[in-house]
Structure 1
């Protein structure tokens, strides 16, 4: 392979990425160890020392897995790029003498399948060892394999036509192909948001209308007060896979659903569920979803414009160990290396996300009771074994939500 200046830049960026990730993990581990024997004062009486220590041990166990994952994934990245792995796979498809579209689509799909197989041992360990050890896993081997097969079929049914469309546009649309690709990806994203609640999510989980009449009345009143319309309130069988609790909104336009995990409803009072819902409604009231979509679409446009430049630069390919310039290898090289070069702007996007969380909390405190949201959050932290004492820098890079202490303190101020 041919080394150039970009090879050196890539290696320096990769080393910086790996060292920073491992350093942040070490900081997080130290923060957990230093607070291991004392529950933070604001949670005293609500979370026991045993529950606090379980959260610390759970987080530390995940950190150990992540240590190995970071190193392993970096080795895999270097093997695919500078090690010649992409060249090897590309040559396999090139000698088949298919047209450029079939060659490119076959290359990308086969790479995705190989990547899934490489990640499979980590998925198995996280589910059946780590989550099992801490009492969260409820998934059977049959459910796990069923999910894998369903995801593979969806990738082929939905992903393959999209890959063909992108590769075709890159050939046929001339110098500004990236604008047309961006339009297709934007339309595809919006379509998936609309389709997901009704057609895709039910492939993996069962959804039933909320049957708690008293809670439903509370929710209907809240929706009327806030002027929110949805396609219904549903309960999802999250307990089929995990004991972690959660709630979310999904969909766009009139095809929106409010979804509660059955595991969340089991441990919450009605007024606490109402407060959680009010928080989610706050995101819609402040148009956080729309703002996120606009920023995401803008970033993707800029990224594709950059790729439109890089795709014609021989140093981009040779610097990453690829001998033959092609549209499909350019797409993969860009996708593989983007996380390395974009990692250090993560604190900026996370800071914006945390600002949105505070605004949604304020909305919930206004339309329900701050005390109910506080008690529901404490239960979520406790039941999900979420650490109460994360390291500040680790949190800045990894957490889209404010830390527990800061969030509770702000809600108490509003209460």
Structure 2
């Protein structure tokens, strides 16, 4: 293939991203290793040295798997682009499938399948080796297979009609403003998924039951009244059938919004601590964090489709990535693959610290709200228990944390709660 200016830009971005990932990971491993033999003073009375060292080993083990996965992803990316993989797949499918629409759908699904197969060994290793070795995994091989089948079928049920609609539209109505119509349809479709997800999609994988604890319900109803929050139902999710990790989250919107507790979380925390955790989740709602993230995703997707429109008919874009569609062949499928698998991950990697910063800002706001509606010390106590039980490191590297972490580091978050509480 001919090396073009865009090829050089692509290689520079890919290499710089990979080097940054290795650099940040090495800093994280070094910071965690350096402090593994001493529990930070603010946690020394609640977390044992054994637990602290276990968290260090867990963090380092995850980093090693992560780096291996980075190298495999780079190899896959280069294989699809500069080494001709996508061109070969495109050629084979165009000869096998006569329909331009179904050939393009098959192209997108083929790359999706290849990516899934390559990531499968990492998922298996994390679940049945890494997580199991630290006592977190509760998933059986049978459940793993069932989850894989369900998620694959669900993805196909969503992707095939969506891709078919996109390619039919592009074949018949491709023009100057095609991308605006596709973007608007994408947003509409995403909103539908967000609305039906909590009620129809998530129950395919987990069982959700209303919280059945009179004492806790009384506390929560009192909290909801103080917070002026119309709370209908709280749900408990059977997270324990897959992992011993505990969590809670706010999902959905409108009539389908719900707050969900992992059953593992309820088993580990006291009622006052659970109330404080719920107050934190209500804080996200009160500060409209979910709405802000939806608006942000709308803006980002707008930019994505505008860029796709710009690059769609540029020969140098395909040639620069080592992809050569056949003469007269539709290029919509190839363009979508290149943007989704190549361009989007590389060009958005450097947005990660901005996204992480905004997420941490939201967490601080939710913590302040929790402190105003419940006892800050109860939330601190709950967080410390979760850090301990989930083997979360208490001594992350500052730069790694600033780049990746959606939540503030443990010590920073606890200090903030002590200040506002």
Q: Corresponding residue for 2:178?
A: 177
Q: Are residue 334 (structure 1) and residue 335 (structure 2) matched?
A: no
Alpha-carbon shift at residue 321 of structure 1 (Å): 1.1
Match of 2:228 in 1: 227
**1:239 aligns to 2:240 (yes or no):** yes
Q: Does 1:53 align with 2:46?
A: no
Contact 1:230/1:255 (8 A) holds in 2: no
> What is the rounded CA distance, in whole Å, between the counterparts of 2:221 and 2:170 in structure 1?
48
Encode CA deviations 1:137-156: one digit per residue, 9 max, x unaligned. 00000000000000111112
Tell whether the 8 Å contact from 2:221 to 2:231 is kept in structure 1 after alignment: no
For normalisation by structure 1, the TM-score amounts to 0.98
Matched, 1:414 2:415: no
Match of 1:266 in 2: 267
Tell me the equivalent position of 2:24.
24
Q: Provide the rounded CA distance (Å) in 2 between the counterparts of 1:295 and 1:363.
A: 23
1:368 aligns with 2:374: yes
- Contact map agreement 2:29 2:60 (CA 8 A) in 1: yes
**Following the alignment from structure 1 to structure 2, what is the Cα–Cα distance between the partners of residues 34 and 143?**
38
Per-residue deviation, 1:190:
0.9
Tell me, yes or no, if the aligned pair for 2:179 and 2:306 is still in contact at 8 Å: yes
- String of CA shifts for 1:89-136, please: whole Å, max 9, x gaps: 111211124222111111111221121111111110000000000000
Which secondary structure does the structure 2 equivalent of 1:400 belong to? Answer: coil
Q: Give 4+ residue runs of structure 1 displaced > 4 Å after superposition.
A: none
The correspondence for 2:393, drawn from 387, 391, 395, is 387
Which shifted more, 141-150 or 203-212?
203-212
The equivalences for 1:260-299 within 5 A come to: 260-299=261-300
Cα distance between partner residues in 2 of 1:242 and 1:88: 41
CA contact (8 A) 2:54 2:391 kept: yes
What TM-score does the superposition give when structure 2 sets the normalisation length? 0.97
CA RMSD of aligned residues (A): 1.1
SS at match of 1:235: strand
Count residues with an aligned counterpart: 415
Q: What is the CA–CA distance in structure 1 between the aligned matches of 2:272 and 2:128, rounded to whole Å?
A: 35
Deviations 1:179-203 (A, max 9, x none): 1111111111111111111101111
Structure 2: state its 5+ residue gaps. none
Please list the CA deviations of residues 272-328 of structure 1 after superposition, one character each: whole Å capped at 9, or x if unmatched: 011111101101101111111101110110111011000011111111111016001
CA distance in 2, matches of 1:321, 1:230: 54
* More displaced 10-residue stretch of structure 1: 261-270 or 341-350: 341-350
Partner of 1:100: 100
Q: Find the aligned partners of 1:122 and 1:144 in 2 and give their Cα distance.
A: 13
Cα 1:231–1:111 shift into 2, 3 Å: farther
What is the CA-CA distance between 1:165 and the residue it aligns to?
1.8
> Partner of 2:395: helix, strand, or coil?
coil
Which blocks of at least 5 consecutive residues in structure 1 are unaligned?
none
